[in-house]
């Protein structure tokens, strides 16, 4: 298949690499210089989103935020200028569900299909091709691009029509954020009470409190390994999407709001680029105690 890939950063680079390894012809564009590992595998460098779209049957977008997707699609020289009947746009970024529906409508008017397919699993999942991929779109469009998804991920689900993939990703980010906060509170409590947080974590991993967050991020909190990973500023963006959508739906997400304030406090401490597990540092400041330090 002729595939275009726009956005080859921390996540996009290995994802595009898997498509190349899978034997697809991949045309790549990014505002930054293309990684040598992709060009060495045979990636074709493009000079614009328009060129990517002209050369590709499927155009995949993996950029940080809603305005970035809009720019990739609709600015001068963007993807929309190279679209035609039969092409498919796949947005794997994590962006606004409401904006997604608007983008899909505009792309559809140009004769192309649109699938929103945000991912979960972080850099490790991208490198290991084990991403969870949450999709919104028609069944026909989903089935067309599913073989590409299978080269990048393991748990691949068509949730519903366009926008439902982004709704699912927002829900995912709510769960992840609140679990990080819960694990941080628990390990900090255990440490300040005088228990060994590493042994507490080990004990909890065998019980009902066990989770991927406790396994991976609990270890990060204890070992103080806060290099991203998934940056706090990106999780702030995702929780903003949750809270904005909740306002539009006239509903309250009280614990999401509280956790966002803790992320805001981490950013105020200079932590925008920390891994999101470093949320624990804000609670440590409040407690005047650091996880893994003796009480």
Residues serving a catalytic function are 169
Distance CA 22, CA 24 (A): 6
Tokens linked to 130: 């084990």
Tell me the pairing of strands 153-160 and 113-116.
unpaired
Neighbours of 106 (CB within 10 A): 15
Cα 179 to chain centroid, rounded:
17
Distance CA 167, CA 134 (A): 9
Check: CB of residue 159 under 8 Å from CB of residue 168.
yes
Distance CA 140, CA 81 (A): 24
Cα 192 to chain centroid, rounded:
33
Closest CA to 285 of 201, 198, 184, 195: 184
What are residue 44's DSSP bridge partners? 27
CA 43 → CA 18, 58, 82, distances in Å?
A: 11, 15, 19
Distance CA 7, CA 46 (A): 12
Secondary structure class of 79 (helix, strand, coil): helix
CA 282 → CA 14, 68, 115, distances in Å?
A: 32, 30, 38
**Rg of the chain's alpha carbons, rounded to an integer?**
20
Distance CA 289, CA 193 (A): 10
DSSP 19: H
């Amino acid at each position: 298949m002729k595939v275009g890939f726009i956005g080859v950063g921390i996540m996009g680079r290995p994802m595009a690499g898997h498509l190349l390894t899978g034997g697809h012809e991949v045309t790549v564009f990014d505002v930054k210089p293309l990684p040598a590992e992709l060009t060495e595998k045979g990636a074709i460098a493009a000079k614009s989103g328009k060129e990517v779209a002209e050369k590709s049957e499927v155009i995949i977008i993996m950029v940080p935020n809603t305005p970035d997707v809009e720019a990739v699609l609709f600015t001068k020289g963007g993807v929309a200028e190279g679209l035609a009947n039969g092409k498919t746009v796949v947005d794997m970024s994590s962006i606004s569900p409401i904006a997604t529906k608007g983008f899909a409508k505009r792309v559809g008017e140009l004769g192309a299909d649109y699938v929103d397919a945000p991912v979960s699993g972080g850099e490790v999942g991208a490198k290991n091709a084990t991403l969870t991929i949450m999709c919104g779109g028609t069944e026909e469009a989903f089935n067309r691009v599913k073989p590409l998804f299978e080269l990048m991920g393991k748990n691949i689900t068509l949730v519903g029509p366009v926008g439902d993939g982004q709704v699912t990703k927002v829900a995912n980010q709510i769960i992840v954020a609140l679990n990080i906060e819960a694990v941080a509170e628990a390990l900090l409590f255990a440490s300040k009470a005088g228990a060994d947080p590493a042994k507490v974590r080990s004990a909890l991993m065998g019980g009902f409190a066990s989770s991927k967050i406790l396994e991976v991020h609990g270890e990060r909190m204890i070992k103080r390994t806060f290099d991203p990973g998934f940056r706090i500023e990106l999780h702030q963006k995702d929780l903003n999407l949750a809270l904005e959508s909740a306002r539009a739906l006239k509903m309250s997400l009280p614990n999401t709001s509280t956790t966002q304030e803790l992320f805001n406090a981490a950013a105020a401490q200079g932590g925008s680029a920390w891994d999101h597990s470093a949320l624990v540092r804000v609670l440590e400041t409040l407690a005047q105690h650091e996880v893994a330090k003796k009480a």
